[in-house]
């Protein structure tokens, strides 16, 4: 995976920040002075000494608002399965840090080709101003090829819009955001104040202002002492780095030396480095302390409170979400069943404790043709899109989720074959037959009926219960093309009998109503 990452700082203020070569992994200059000064201030107040990873007692929950950008016609969407995996892996990476992420609200789909093919960083700022939601980390998935990036993010107090409780965002390219990628973690580091480890060093590694390899603050002349608190990324537990390009690790990096003649030995296991994703597996303790301070109130050794620049993310707090126990299974359609109208397939699955949303995956052979996120505890969905071909077998599976728990797997697949959809010329409907769908119905859901297209006669119906008592009757609503709809106004679960009559033709069918 080629990883091109841009820390989204000062891009709207100065074109000089985009000073590196077009093929460089990062198109921005160093982190803004405010971010570097913030880290230096944490040093001065002893914050790095008192916030050690092993001493983390509380978990900070950070809300994510996901914006998935597609074309004007809704093409090019980022995979929902990859999104859930990405968030799952983010939580695994940040778990030991005492930081976890959860989804707030529904996914925002933006159908805008000019934003999907993002032409510039300024266009991203304009989109942030238009679509950002307050008190969340706004995360956008779009095609970033035109800006040569896999992702970019705003540092605290930088970027658009300027409103403090919704400023900045993270932008990610779908091609760099699959399972196993660390782009999201890297960009989240920027969003929570972390510079690249090679900042202020990569342009001139042997310059007096560049970060030195030594960590000794009392070197003997002519050697220069450590400057890790005032140069580079300002973290003294991240080795001095000079690599603003992709590199493999472990292994010999180069013969580049600093002002003292010491060989640089950058740490490719750091998420904020530019080593390949397979190398990366950690944030340093000081990086962790900086991120946690960015999103919370930190007390200094003298009792002074430091308000982090992104502590607005903690209000309101995360709602309580249950642990998801068990998996689900598909109830409707029945496995290997046939005759489901291509534009009217009723999906139903078993409820799972703790789940408040379900991800449905429809596949043809083993290629996903659609993903649907049902944002409720409901366990049924009526699929009415025109994406399935009559006579072809498809597969449906379901993944139980909630806004906090995204590390889940799909259920076993159920196979089904569709037939001609409702509302079209149905050659296989005999003159004396009807097609009624579905036979397993949710309360207050409509029943669809397909008759011969040529018939213009009214369609009368009666619905009775098992004791033969009339529950409702009337005339079905004509939808055109020989299709009709009955708005069933029945709440009670149970088995019912539907009788249809159109001229001399009649049809009787059992209907099961379930919640």
Strand partners, 373: 359
Does 297 lie in the same domain as 175?
yes
- Domain assignment present for residue 251? The answer is yes
Is 385 contained in some domain?
Answer: yes
415 and 430 belong to one structural domain:
no
Q: What share of the chain has pLDDT > 90, as a percent? A: 59
| Dist CA 18 CA 499 (whole Å) | 72
Please tell me whether residues 335 and 377 are part of one structural domain.
Answer: yes
- Residue 161: inside a domain: yes
Residue 158 has pLDDT above 50, yes or no: yes
pLDDT at 52: 54
- Mean per-residue pLDDT for 110-117? 97
The 440-442 sheet, strands edge to edge: 440-442, 505-514, 494-502, 460-465, 470-475
Domain C-terminal end among 314, 330, 357: 314
CA distance 383 to 362: 10
Cβ neighbour number for residue 254 with a 10 Å cutoff: 12
Cβ atoms 166, 134 nearer than 8 A:
yes
Asked whether 179 and 148 are in contact (CB, 8 A), the reply is no
Q: Which of 366, 392, 421 is the last residue of a domain?
A: 421
Chain Cα centroid distance, residue 240: 33
- Residue closest to 484 by CA, chosen among 444, 443, 438, 436: 436
More confident residue, 274 or 301: 274
| Residue 106 in domain | yes
Q: Is the pLDDT of residue 3 over 60?
A: no
Task: Tell whether 51 and 154 lie within a shared domain.
Answer: yes
β-strands 170-172, 137-141 pairing: parallel
> Both 350 and 369 in a single domain?
yes
pLDDT recorded at residue 431:
41
**CA pair distance 224, 217, nearest whole angstrom:** 9
CATH number, position 36: 3.40.390
304 falls in which pLDDT band (50, 70, 90)?
Answer: confident
Listed in sequence order, the DSSP H helices in 166-309 are: 183-191, 285-294
Residue 361 has pLDDT above 80, yes or no: yes
3-state secondary structure of 442: strand
Same structural domain, 254 and 134: no
pLDDT at 432 over 50: no
Mean pLDDT of all residues in 145-173: 89
**Final residue before a domain boundary, out of 373, 390, 421:** 421
Spatial separation of the C-alpha atoms in residues 198 and 240, rounded to whole Å: 7
Query: What pLDDT band is residue 82 in, cutting at 50, 70 and 90?
Result: very high
Is 339 in a helix, a strand, or coil? strand
pLDDT of amino acid 515 = 60
Closest CA to 206 of 151, 256, 267, 247: 256
| 506: number of Cβ within 10 Å | 12
**351 and 230: one domain?**
no
Query: How much is the pLDDT for 5?
Result: 35
- Asked whether residue 266 is assigned to any structural domain, the reply reads yes
Q: Poorest-confidence range of 96-110, 368-382, 406-420? A: 368-382
Number of H helices, E strands in the chain: 7, 26
* Stretch among 125-139, 352-366, 430-444, 484-498 having the lowest mean pLDDT: 430-444
Above 70 in pLDDT, residue 489? yes
CA distance 298 to 308: 7
Q: Which domain holds residue 481?
A: 426-515
Give pTM, 2 decimals: 0.82
Of these ranges, 180-184, 211-215, 322-326, 470-474, the one predicted with the greatest mean pLDDT is: 211-215
Tell me phi and psi for residue 126, to 5 degrees.
-65, -40
* CA–CA separation, 118 and 148 (whole Å): 10
Instruction: Kindly report the number of other CB atoms within 10 A of residue 393's CB atom.
Output: 15
Closest CA to 360 of 388, 391, 395, 393: 395
- Answer whether residue 471 is part of any domain: yes
Answer yes or no: do 152 and 278 share one domain: no
Q: Are residues 74 and 167 in the same domain?
A: yes
Given this model, what pLDDT does residue 478 score? 87
Tens-digit pLDDT profile for residues 181-240: 999 999 999 999 999 999 999 999 999 999 999 999 999 999 999 999 999 999 999 999
Q: How far apart are CA 362 and CA 354, in angstroms?
A: 23
Residue 49 lies in a domain: yes
For the chain, what percent of residues have pLDDT higher than 70?
88
- Is residue 326 domain-shared with residue 309, that is, in the same domain? no
Most confident range, picked from 237-246, 247-256, 371-380: 237-246
Q: What is the CATH number of the domain that holds 349?
A: 2.60.40.10
Q: What value does the mean pLDDT take over residues 501-511?
A: 82
Do 497 and 464 meet the contact criterion of CB atoms below 8 Å apart?
yes
Residue 151 has pLDDT above 50, yes or no: yes
> Per mean pLDDT, which range of 232-236, 257-261, 273-277, 463-467 is the poorest?
463-467
Domain count of the fold of the chain:
4
What tens digit of pLDDT does each residue of 7-58 get? 333 333 322 222 222 333 544 557 999 999 999 999 988 888 765 544 577 8
Are residues 19 and 111 both part of a single domain?
A: yes
Backbone torsion region of residue 180, taken as left when φ is above 0, otherwise alpha when ψ lies between -120 and 50, otherwise beta: left
Question: CB of 290 within 8 A of CB of 367?
Answer: no
Looking at the fold, whether 154 and 294 belong to one and the same domain comes out as yes
CA 480-486-491 angle, to 5 degrees, is: 155
Q: What pLDDT shows up at residue 422? A: 65
Asked if residue 199 is part of any domain, the answer here is: no
CATH at residue 467: 2.60.40.1930
């Amino acid at each position: 995976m080629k990883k091109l990452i841009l820390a989204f700082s000062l891009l709207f203020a100065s074109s000089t920040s985009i000073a590196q070569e077009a093929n460089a992994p990062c198109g921005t200059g160093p982190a803004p002075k405010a971010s570097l000064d913030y880290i230096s201030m944490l040093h001065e107040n002893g914050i790095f000494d008192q916030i050690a990873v092993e001493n983390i007692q509380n978990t900070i929950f950070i809300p994510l608002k996901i914006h998935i950008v597609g074309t004007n016609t809704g093409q090019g969407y980022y995979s929902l399965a990859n999104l859930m995996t990405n968030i799952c892996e983010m939580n695994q990476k940040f778990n030991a840090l005492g930081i976890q992420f959860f989804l707030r609200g529904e996914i925002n789909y933006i159908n805008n080709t000019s934003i999907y093919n993002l032409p510039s960083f300024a266009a991203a700022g304009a989109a942030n101003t238009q679509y950002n939601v307050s008190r969340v980390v706004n995360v956008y998935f779009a095609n970033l090829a035109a800006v040569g990036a896999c992702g970019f993010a705003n540092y605290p107090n930088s970027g658009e819009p300027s409103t403090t409780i919704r400023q900045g965002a993270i932008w990610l390219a779908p091609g760099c955001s699959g399972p196993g990628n660390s782009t999201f973690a890297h960009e989240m580091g920027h969003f929570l104040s972390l510079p690249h480890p090679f900042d202020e060093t990569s342009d001139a590694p042997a310059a007096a202002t560049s970060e030195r390899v030594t960590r000794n603050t009392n070197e003997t002349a002519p050697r220069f002492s450590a400057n890790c608190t005032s140069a580079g990324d300002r973290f003294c537990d991240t080795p001095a780095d000079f690599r603003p390009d992709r590199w493999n690790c472990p292994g010999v990096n180069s013969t580049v030396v600093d002002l003292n003649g010491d060989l640089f030995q950058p740490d490719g296991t750091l998420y904020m480095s530019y080593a390949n994703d397979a190398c990366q597996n950690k944030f340093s303790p000081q990086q962790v302390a900086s991120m946690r301070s960015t999103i919370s109130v930190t007390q200094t050794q003298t009792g002074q409170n430091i308000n982090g620049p992104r502590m607005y993310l903690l209000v309101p707090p995360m709602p309580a979400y249950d642990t998801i126990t068990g998996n689900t299974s598909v109830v409707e359609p029945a496995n290997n069943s046939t005759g489901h109208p291509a534009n009217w397939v009723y999906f139903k699955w078993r409820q799972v404790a703790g789940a408040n949303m379900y991800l449905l995956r429809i596949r043809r052979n083993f290629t996903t043709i659609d993903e649907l996120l049902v944002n409720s505890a409901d366990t049924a969905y009526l699929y009415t899109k025109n994406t399935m071909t009559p006579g072809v077998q498809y597969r449906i599976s379901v993944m139980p989720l909630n806004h906090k728990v995204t590390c889940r797997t799909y259920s076993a697949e159920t196979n089904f074959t569709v037939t001609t959809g409702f509302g079209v010329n149905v050659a296989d409907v005999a003159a004396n037959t009807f097609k009624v769908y579905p036979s397993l119905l949710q309360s207050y859901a409509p029943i669809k009926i397909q008759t011969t297209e040529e018939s213009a006669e009214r369609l009368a119906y009666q619905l009775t219960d098992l004791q033969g008592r009339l529950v409702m009757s009337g005339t079905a609503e004509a939808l055109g093309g020989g299709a009709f709809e009955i708005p069933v106004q029945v709440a009670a679960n149970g088995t019912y009998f539907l009788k249809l009559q159109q001229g001399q033709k009649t049809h009787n069918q059992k209907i099961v109503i379930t919640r």
